[in-house]
Structure 1
């Protein structure tokens, strides 16, 4: 059963999303809140698999709330959603650690698919957003991150993205664990991230594994 916490300041929206999820198989709504203060109080009480977080929720900006969830509740996945189009907030949401971005105009089946995919630990983004993530900032030259990586770095990243531990990666590639740690540090530098969660999210978002 996938446990969902809904965070939105509009009662009708919360009721609608709750209704959609509760009528689908395999979902349990463990709560709904209207402010970020209520959100973090609720997260101290329950541990949802997915938080559906509205971008314009009161008290704390949606991106700031997302970062706080990521820091304080790292096992909770966040699916951002908004009345704004993907062009406005999607890129910044994904870069801040969201597992997906959903427009409020989405069809019911799309919402269900998004929540289920995020709960499974996968990114939920459109093809257009994936392409935008592959662009260099400030340029319009597409740049696949893998072009920066050596063959061995690609192999290490693929194994890490599949959930392997350092020890398993070392065994699979006939390396020692210290060498794997060196590769991880090199990958973070090349992909411009500073922790493993962001590294793996980059890999997943760009389907680089």
Structure 2
């Protein structure tokens, strides 16, 4: 690997997606994909092995999602530079990622040339935010913030999404490596914070905020 190239890890649980992004990046000439991962846990291991300049990571991955991995990156490593690349285009996801220490957030539907641009900017110590999401965040701020989901903790938000998608407490417990009782405790707190009384209302709330499809 040339020292002049920006080294990158691609973390996404879809091999076809990783292959497409690898081709896009390596056509640039100054970016080299040095490793791939299909989960947050594997991404952490690969980072420890090769210490890349930038990690490009999805949010929705098995075993350990991108937000959980972000938290662990900052606990284990000094100043990791992580770009979240996700199909989620809602500002709330970008806000969560930035709060967990991401250096940038980009939607997978963004123009292809924005990905290498974001990587270069982050590698140089800067930050990058998808222009459309940045606009949404600015509009939300001008309205004073009207999203009740902002009051959820990172773990409550993760549980909320999976409850809204119809997963059982046992299924969520396996995914998040916590007990079913802990899931139920989070569910109680989520309902209280959001002012809802049933899982059906949780699902409707998630649909209303474009977090899941109807």
Cα drift, residue 74 of structure 1 = 2.2
Q: Return 5+ residue gaps in structure 2 as ranges.
A: 148-214
Cα drift, residue 46 of structure 1 = 0.5
CA RMSD of aligned residues (A): 2.2
Task: Give the alignment partner of residue 56 of structure 1, picking from 60, 63, 83.
Answer: 60
**Alpha-carbon distance in 2 for matches of 1:81, 1:91:** 13
**Alpha-carbon distance in 2 for matches of 1:6, 1:47:** 13
Task: Give the alignment partner of residue 18 of structure 2, picking from 2, 14, 19.
Answer: 14
CA displacement, residues 156-204 of structure 1 (integer Å, 9 cap, x when unaligned)? xxxxxxxxxxxxxxxxxxxxxxxxxxxxxxxxxxxxxxxxxxxxxxxxx
Instruction: Map 1:169-208; keep pairs closer than 5 Å.
Output: none
TM-score for the superposition, normalised by structure 2: 0.60
Cα drift, residue 25 of structure 1 = 2.3
TM-score for the superposition, normalised by structure 1: 0.61
1:41 aligns with 2:45: yes
Cα drift, residue 49 of structure 1 = 0.8
Residue 123 of structure 2: aligned partner? 119
Cα drift, residue 60 of structure 1 = 1.3
1:95 aligns with 2:102: no
1:77 aligns with 2:81: yes
Residue 60 of structure 2 aligns to a residue whose secondary structure is coil
1:36 touches 1:57 (CA, 8 Å); kept in 2?
yes
Cα drift, residue 134 of structure 1 = 5.9
Runs of 4+ off more than 2 Å: 129-140
User: 1:135–1:47: structure 2 CA closer, same or farther, 3 Å change rule?
Assistant: farther
**Alpha-carbon distance in 2 for matches of 1:13, 1:94:** 23
Cα drift, residue 130 of structure 1 = 6.0
Q: Return 5+ residue gaps in structure 1 as ranges.
A: 141-209
2:54 touches 2:82 (CA, 8 Å); kept in 1?
yes
Cα drift, residue 66 of structure 1 = 0.5
Cα drift, residue 96 of structure 1 = 1.2
User: 1:62–1:116: structure 2 CA closer, same or farther, 3 Å change rule?
Assistant: same
Cα drift, residue 75 of structure 1 = 3.0
